[in-house]
Chain A
Amino acid sequence: MENPSVSIKHLDLEFGSVKVLKDLNLDIGQGEFLVLLGASGCGKSTLLNCIAGLLDVSDGQIFINDKNVTWEQPSERGIGMVFQSYALYPQMTVRGNLTFGLKNAKMPKDEIETRVKRAAEILQIEPLLQRKPAALSGGQRQRVAIGRALVRDVDVFLFDEPLSNLDAKLRADLRVELKVLHERLKNTMIYVTHDQIEAMTLADRIAIMKDGLIQQLDSPQEIYNRPVNKYVADFIGSPAMNFFEGEVADGKFINGDMSIDLSRYDFLDESVKSSAWFGIRPEHILVNEDAPFSTNAHVDIVEPMGSDTLVWTKINGIPFRFRMDGQASVATGDDLKIGFDPKRASLFDKTTELRL
């Protein structure tokens, strides 16, 4: 990548004998919105704290705007950070929260004033400047927390699960606001979350992490359509992907007496022949339509969810779910013809679990 905004090279982090991050490399472009996504304990927040300088790394380097900041203090790295718990200073007003760091850096008064004004205007918190955090709603607090990063006038914003403490509706609203904010400011943003919707909607690229390693670093589309391994395939998408165990041979996937023709599947390596997982997303199932592969299904359970309906069945004795339109009339005990296009499926090696 040419002239990355943030560059992480061979990063290791150990707590005692526990390796939390392992030889991690990551380049983040200027103005990119990068989401670090993973289950809890995968090292995503740890990585963010390393970038911020809140944790000392064990080995490797961190560059921000081509400057080696590996040994720099957090305040000297040119970053702003927003925390899950907001971490506002409770005894200070909103204005106090925004200006405390700047005053401490002995910035001229009028410069502070300009910056506070700009941040308050962008975040629409002007009426709140004299209030204390206790008198703000969750969404307002989060805006002030963003404002505290904004006034620092830095190139890189770090977000540590900033929406996790909010209720679902507010979270959806603020998600959009964040996207608008990014489009307006065009800063580099690194955003940690365990929520795949947030990741999919906000990210230019997503880095999916597990056990201190980046599993896949790609655009949301690519990660959704072409997961590099079974973990990523399983992690992304809700409800989760259906999997069959079987053999790949002669352009076919074979599970018992079921055989799926793979001539439409994009193999990484055509010649492969191995035990494999076959995965297909519930939303890629076609019901009562012609499809390259189809079979009969007996409906076990129906879960109507309004916008769509989740149907449970069994294929070859293996539980299988698929999604239908919310208006579809389907009931337990119905027999349906279901099918899919193997082009939309994913195949993973049985042992390495890597994409085939």
Chain B
Amino acid sequence: MADTSATNSETTTMVGPRGRKPKRALSPRNIMLYGTLIVIAMYYLLPLYVMVVTSLKGMPEIRLGNVFSPPVEITFEPWVKAWSEACTGLNCDGLSRGFWNSVRIMVPSVAISILIASVNGYALANWRFKGANIFFTILIFGAFIPYQVMIYPIVIILREMGLYTKLGGLVIVHTVFGMPILTLLFRNYFSSVPEELFKAARVDGAGFWGIYFRIMLPMSLPIFVVAIILQVTGIWNDFLFGVIYTKPENYPMTVQLNNIVNSVQGVKEYNVNMAATLLTGLVPLFVYFVSGKLFVRGIAAGAVKG
């Protein structure tokens, strides 16, 4: 009978290499690896840095220096100006108008598109009916059709409905074009819910809506968060639909921002422009840094499983 401690009786002294192989923290490999990563990270961070420093400088300082030089005298005036005074055409009430327009567009668009797509994904995953897959396939392929092919007929449709240039029209457009990715997201998620759970609920007499609200919804909170992140950033960043389907007083923030910065009249106020740009980017950046891994999961789910 061999006791474990008996096997080593002969080796009380240990010579030669022992334990962890010594590694230099500054091995050539590590220097290369981290050096490259840091340089690339700096390249990626540079625009953010430039936006921030430019928006905190006064115009005289900008004319003297370059885009990278840090502000000598920090001023928040460009921010104030961008938010409440910058002009687009005749309106001089700043980006705040675009901000609130974007909020007004985003909130119902996100809510309605997610509601419709989640119910739809649920129907596709758990209540397969004849023909469902044909429409779903069309939907997924539709995601690849360039928007430019469809924008004009949609103008006609919305005009017929009396919604062209109205908020409601834009909400419909966002719902329609968000549907492929969201439906896919929800369909895949609900398909991964154990079928036994669904069957058990059916045996217990729950119907379509009963199962959706009492079983599927409560257990799919994470995927709803992923969908919200996807839609908030997507709709907030939209430019094309905003410029086509709304009129100037309803322009979303991105469109207004572009009009402010690229307006040919007047003296270019680079600091105000950068403050405005940063302001427009704040919402998606906030969503991104708060959501972290869920954001990654959203884009990965959307992109790879297609």
Contact = CB atoms under 8 A, between A and B. Distances in A.
Contact between chain A and chain B defined by CB under 8 Å = yes
Given A9-B8, A26-B7, A27-B7, A217 B2 contact: yes
B17 A217 contact: no
A57 B11 contact: no
A27 B5 CA distance: 11
A304 to B, nearest CB: 29
B1 A228 contact: yes
B16 A68 contact: yes
A71 B4 CA distance: 24
Contacts of A12: 19
A57 B1 contact: no
Contacts of A228: 1, 3
A204 interface: no
A218 interface: yes
A70 interface: yes
A203 to B, nearest CB: 14
Interface in B1-32: 1-5, 7-8, 11, 14-21
A59 B4 contact: no
A61 interface: yes
A218 B17 CA distance: 29
Contacts of A216: 4
Given A10-B14, A61-B14, A217 B21 contact: no
A25 B7 contact: yes
Interface in A204-229: 213-218, 222, 226, 228
A234 interface: no
Contacts of B4: 24-26, 213-217
Contacts of B1: 218, 222, 226, 228
Contacts of B8: 9-10, 25
A18 interface: no
A213 B11 CA distance: 18
Contacts of B19: 12, 57-61, 70
B interface, over-half SS: loop
A70 B16 contact: yes
Nearest to B18: A61
Given A217-B2, A226-B1, A58 B7 contact: no
Contacts of A217: 2, 4, 7
A3 B4 CA distance: 18
Nearest to B16: A68
B11 A9 contact: yes
A218 B2 contact: yes
Nearest to B2: A217
Contacts of B21: 56, 70-71
Nearest to A53: B21
Interface residues of A, number: 27
A9 B17 CA distance: 12
B20 A58 contact: yes
Given A217-B7, A218-B1, A56 B20 contact: yes
A119 to B, nearest CB: 31
Nearest to A28: B7
- Tell which of B14, B15, B19 has the most Cβ of chain A within 10 Å: B19
A120 B4 CA distance: 39
Contact of B18 (A25, A60, A214, A226): A60
A1 B17 contact: no
B20 A61 contact: no
A71 B2 contact: no
A318 B2 CA distance: 33
B256 to A, nearest CB: 51
B16 A59 contact: no
Contacts of B15: 68
Contact of A71 (B3, B7, B14, B17): B17
Interface in A180-194: none
Nearest to B4: A214
A7 B18 CA distance: 13
B20 A59 contact: yes
A1 B2 CA distance: 11
A1 B7 contact: yes
B13 to A, nearest CB: 10
Contact of A61 (B2, B3, B5, B16): B16
Nearest to B20: A56
A58 B3 CA distance: 23
B17 A70 contact: yes
A12 B4 CA distance: 15
Nearest to A14: B20
B219 to A, nearest CB: 28
Contacts of A1: 7
A24 B11 CA distance: 13
Nearest to A223: B1
Interface string B58-69: 000000000000
Interface in A52-69: 56-61, 68
19 contacts: A25-B4, A25-B8, A26-B4, A26-B7, A56-B20, A59-B20, A60-B14, A60-B18, A60-B19, A61-B14, A61-B17, A61-B18, A68-B15, A68-B16, A70-B16, A70-B17, A70-B18, A70-B21, A217-B2
Shortest beta-carbon contacts, A-B, top 5: A25-B8, A68-B16, A71-B21, A59-B19, A70-B17
Given A25-B11, A68-B16, 20 more contacts: A9-B14, A10-B8, A24-B4, A25-B4, A25-B5, A27-B7, A57-B19, A57-B20, A58-B20, A59-B18, A60-B14, A60-B18, A61-B16, A61-B18, A70-B18, A216-B4, A217-B2, A218-B2, A222-B1, A228-B1
